[in-house]
Structure 1
Amino acid sequence: MAGSVIEWLTWRTAMERALYGEGGFYRRGERPSEHFRTSVHASPRFATAVARLLAEVDTALGRPDRLDLVDVGAGSGRLLANVLACLPPDLAERLTPTAVEIAPRPPGLPAGITWRPDLPPEITGLAVANEWLDNIPLDVAEQTPDGIRTVLVDPSSGTERTGPEPTGQDREWLERWWPLHEPGDRAEIGHPRCAAWASVVKRVQSGLAVAVDYSHGRDSRPQSGTLTGYRDGSTVPAVPDGSCDVTAHVALDACAEAGERAGATSSVLTTQRTALRALGLSGARPPIGLAHSDPRAYLTALCQAGEDAELTDPSGLGGFGWLAQAVAVPLPASLAT
């Protein structure tokens, strides 16, 4: 019996279909918390830090009548709901919270949260993209004895083969951000993430845009790339058949340059550990004396310290990169140090 014909695709096309095509992983409403642990679902303390950052942005903007909080790639919408729950009344009344997500709106979300599949045309306030850029589809290149070639993939099995030379845009990005040297070296061509991030920054009229993701810099790119699959809480082979999430770490340094071209007036690249500690999540244990004077407060503080420690663990969530780019306002003091 003749074998089936393999449809060899570029990784970017295969990821686009698997994640966002009809019946794709995210199009059908899969929730990130069901497949991998995010900062949002690890603890509401992450939202506490975002709320503090939002308050700094609000102050820098002069406390406008309308303040935007846009969650790009909102998933279940839990970040916005948690932020709303810890805001002071004055700020909450002026806030316009918007979830950008192609999946259906989940039940039980606060009615005041706008749910839309695309970015709003203008943003005055804070835009947060937490683990969004790593799901922007991209192509993969490999250095071969015959030169750099685009990697093709069989979406049904994940089997790969080398294909044509990269396009001019791909080659330019590789030369600038991820040069390949030895046969077998691989790179994930990140200009689609740069363009996606620039589209966020362009919409910020004044305020701050923050991208949070596993990342790497030009001096520490992984030789074999980072393509990974996630399903049911475990890592699995990155097979782009729609059965699992497919991600790759983000070249946030390249995204920073794209954001500056899109209008960012100041930028900082840091780690989640540094950012969250600056926003008050120290992870410090409460004084033991509090256990005697106020046992309930002690237990609450002890629980918060444990959650802060997970969010700032440099070998886990604390190792995420944070790219913060301000437009027409100074960087918040908590991130500018």
Structure 2
Amino acid sequence: MEPTMIREGYLVKKGTVLNTWKVLWVVLADDAIEFYKKKTDSSPKGMIPLKGAALTTPCQNFPKKTLVFKVSTTKKQDHFFQATHLEERELWIKDIKRAISCLESGKRFARKSTRRSIRLPESVNLSALYVLMKDQDTGVKELKVEKEKRLFNHCFTGNTVIDWLVSEGKARNRAEGLMLATGLLTEGFLQAAGDLSKDAAEKGAECAFVDQTDALYYFADSGFFCEGYSSDEDVIVKEEFRGAIVRQGCLLKQGHRRKNWKVRKFILRDDPAYIHYYDPTKGEEDPLGSIHLRGSVITAVEYVPDAKRHEVDGNLFEIITSDEIHYYLQAATAEERKDWIKAIQSVAKSGK
């Protein structure tokens, strides 16, 4: 029988020979992972058999790269992948684990129920716990904290996290809460913000989380940013990043000068209304560019004037800014294009 395709999308993969990270189109079947140089390629660049394979997550081989997971084959070959955001990593990991499990038991792939429950300390579901922590009404409150001549936005202190875990009955005491918080940190759900919390996390101690008022953390997919007081210009630039993240992921983008198409990671923020794009193989410190969406027009298009048909086809959409600058983008699927357009249109209307 032909293998069943389970999931596909853009992931960043480390080269097996050279120590370089590149964006590839990855397809998960029920018996293997195939990866392509481009989405439109007819034959894969490589294939990883899943029978007898092992999945490692979180992967600690690259301290400066978060959201990395490792797939090891029976021939002792390690393949490292990096997702662009937390939710994406969780979806890939869940399906790869299930595919490996089904191969071992001789069953056909079928997703388990998505119903989740929290029963601590017997069973811990960090994904579900993270969702509860982010609840705007009952979760951990995000604050602005001024420290060391810097202003940390959308963050909270280490002791606040432990207080919440204990008060909500997710941990029986502070020691147990510290173990849970360390798990959330090492899995990438929480990120260290200040010097104290970063030092503890980088040392890789058994309890990398710090239960103190001086230790700062933030949610992995929040609108966190830190600003200094070096100049008024810095504050104006950082204003773009104040908004909470509405949507993020990879899209194909046409360049303005050479008109070539490259995969970029996009992060859409709500207020002020900006979408920033990045090189997915690098960090999020310096975006390659930003689009101010207030007053923009976002529409689905069937073709791009300067694009060759074989280069890009289908699931295209266009952003026309208030300054009449045109941006052409391509989503992986029709459903994804619809979701991006809807999210960007909403932000363009409501954001500043």
If the length of structure 2 is used for normalisation, what is the TM-score?
0.24
With a CA cutoff of 8 Å and minimum separation of 6, indicate the structure with the bigger relative contact order: 1
Determine which structure has the larger helix proportion and give its number.
Answer: 1
